[in-house]
Structure 1
Amino acid sequence: LLELFPARIRLSAVALSYNLGYGVTGGLTPFVITWIYSMTHNIYLSTLLWSTVVPVIMASWYLLKGPETLGVRIWAEFVAEKFAKKTVTLPATTPIREVVSALVNAGSKYAVLTGSVIGIFGTRSLIRALASGAGLHEPAEKYAARVPCIEADHPVTEVFVALEQYNVRAVPVCRGGQPIGIVEARELVNEALALRGALKKKVAFRFSVADTAPKELITATPEMKLKDAIELMAKNDIGFLPVVEGGKLVGVLSESDILKLVGKGAFDPNVVLETVINRSPVVISRSATLREAAELMVKHNIRHLPVVEDGKVVAVVSVKDIVKAIG
């Protein structure tokens, strides 16, 4: 019976069939046996026909005509290809500047670099490259994450393993050794769906953003040079930096902002932050609930929110923090 249903609905389908079998078949047993007895006038034959002969006929039909799943993976329907999305694919020797420009034009955060070894170059790769003093003319492969390409027909569980084993946020998917797309960690956990789910959960009303946000707060100042801010982000492995002056939030800098600067040819490591930061960030009060935070993130399509109290930034809450808090 299990083999009749795809894995994604197997539990529900078997439960439904099981209960229908007991409810309908079992419930009709007295009526059917009585009906057969009215024609045969033999209580033993009537009972055997319904309780033995009919099930044997059904089992024989399934044995001969039912689908054979021997050798078929139970999660075959959840192959990596179903979760993959198209992205930028370039030779590994492509300069960083050109890779970033292609990412900005495509509206993507990750590029697959092909060569002797397949690698992933994303926003965090760019931050690490710039923090190390890399020139934008250098090949992107020097700073890409080396990740094995998951074959398109392999189960998506292999993607989970690769994400954890190589500590990356995206994994390439290939067919016949050629990249066809990537699977992002955030897509697998479906952050957008999780945020919308948070709007309906009671726990989202009970906890405030202050309860969820990390206690350590890393900030920058408007006078700080862009290269120093990038080094700070790389050192702490973060992609979002509140910029404060006298404790007051004056703007934010994200890895996406840096990606756009490089892609548009406007990157200058020696400029001060006050000239490049986003001065109108979406913020949230320290006493706001997780539900309010989730609503803002969904509405503005953002992943980080500075948490403020009396105009001063006290924390930063992310999608990851909310998803973790609501379980």
Structure 2
Amino acid sequence: MLVEQIMHRAVHTLPPELPIREAIQLAREHRVRHLPVVEDGRLIGLVSDQDLRAASLSELGPSEVWERSSQPVSTIMARRVISIHPLDFVEDAARLLYENRIGCLPVLRGNELVGILTETDILYRLVEIFGVHRPSQHFEVEVEDKIGILARVSRIFGDHRINIHSVLVERGDDPRQLKLVYRVQAKDLRGVVKSMKAAGYRVVWPHKEPRFREKGPR
């Protein structure tokens, strides 16, 4: 998936000379946490909600707060801004957010600001990828790392007419083993658990079969 597919295209921006108090009002009005600062169509900085809160410290007196909030946003903006291209992959954007511990990435095509991508956008996309926004169950199985193993394990779900919403491949402490994490559409996984074990795979979750015990007569 590309950045342009999930980025926000309607971006609220600030001119560098805008007073801080007006930036605070704009952020509250539109409920945004990151405001790019643009001059002559070029991105020159970024102001976050933390920057705005720091500029109106409660320990200052009324006159000092007014004086501070009258200063332009250029005095508090971050000038070193990490950006990304709209045709970059979402996973690369997630890596940039994580490695730099930042909350957003302005999206630039050349020098033009065309969007903004936030950590919330990435998190929501992960929820969609994992399929947890739809009714589903979690299933984990540990297998030997060899060619074709994912197809063979997934085929068992098909044999039980169970739809797979998503699958994540994790490498464990043993480099020879893989953990396959599924989200599947099913009410009863007992048959799948039995088939997985019969095939020689170690079912990690669900780890207790009584979880699927049918209700007996009262």
1:289-313 Cα distance to aligned partner (Å, 9 max, x none): 1011000011011121111111221
Which of the numbers 196, 200, 208 marks the counterpart of 2:2? 208
Shift of 1:259: 2.5
* d(CA) in 2 for partners of 1:214, 1:232: 17
- 3-state SS, counterpart of residue 262 of structure 1: coil
Tell me the percent identity.
Answer: 25
- 3-state SS, counterpart of residue 56 of structure 2: helix
Write the mapping of 1:14-163 to structure 2, written as runs, cut at 5 A.
none
Show the counterpart of 1:242. Answer: 36
Q: CA contact under 8 A between 2:7 and 2:115: conserved in structure 1?
A: yes
Q: CA contact under 8 A between 2:34 and 2:46: conserved in structure 1?
A: yes
* d(CA) in 1 for partners of 2:20, 2:6: 29
- 3-state SS, counterpart of residue 316 of structure 1: strand
The alignment of Structure 1 onto Structure 2 pairs a total of residues equal to 121
Show the counterpart of 2:135. Answer: none
Show the counterpart of 2:83. Answer: 283
Which of the numbers 14, 36, 45 marks the counterpart of 1:251? 45
* d(CA) in 1 for partners of 2:84, 2:5: 13
Show the counterpart of 2:114. Answer: 314
Shift of 1:272: 1.0
* d(CA) in 1 for partners of 2:50, 2:115: 20
Show the counterpart of 1:296. Answer: 96
Write the letter of the residue equivalent to 2:42.
K
Q: For structure 2, list consecutive stretches of 5 or more residues without a partner in the other structure.
A: 129-218
Q: Which has more radius of gyration?
A: 1
Shift of 1:323: 2.0
1:104-140 Cα distance to aligned partner (Å, 9 max, x none): xxxxxxxxxxxxxxxxxxxxxxxxxxxxxxxxxxxxx
Shift of 1:261: 3.0
* d(CA) in 1 for partners of 2:52, 2:18: 15
Q: TM-score, normalised by structure 2?
A: 0.52
1:229 aligns with 2:57: no
Q: TM-score, normalised by structure 1?
A: 0.35
Q: For structure 1, list consecutive stretches of 5 or more residues without a partner in the other structure.
A: 1-206
Q: CA RMSD, aligned part only?
A: 1.7
Which has a greater percent of helix? 1
1:274 aligns with 2:68: no
Show the counterpart of 1:219. Answer: 13
Write the mapping of 1:186-197 to structure 2, written as runs, cut at 5 A.
none
- 3-state SS, counterpart of residue 93 of structure 2: helix
- 3-state SS, counterpart of residue 302 of structure 1: coil
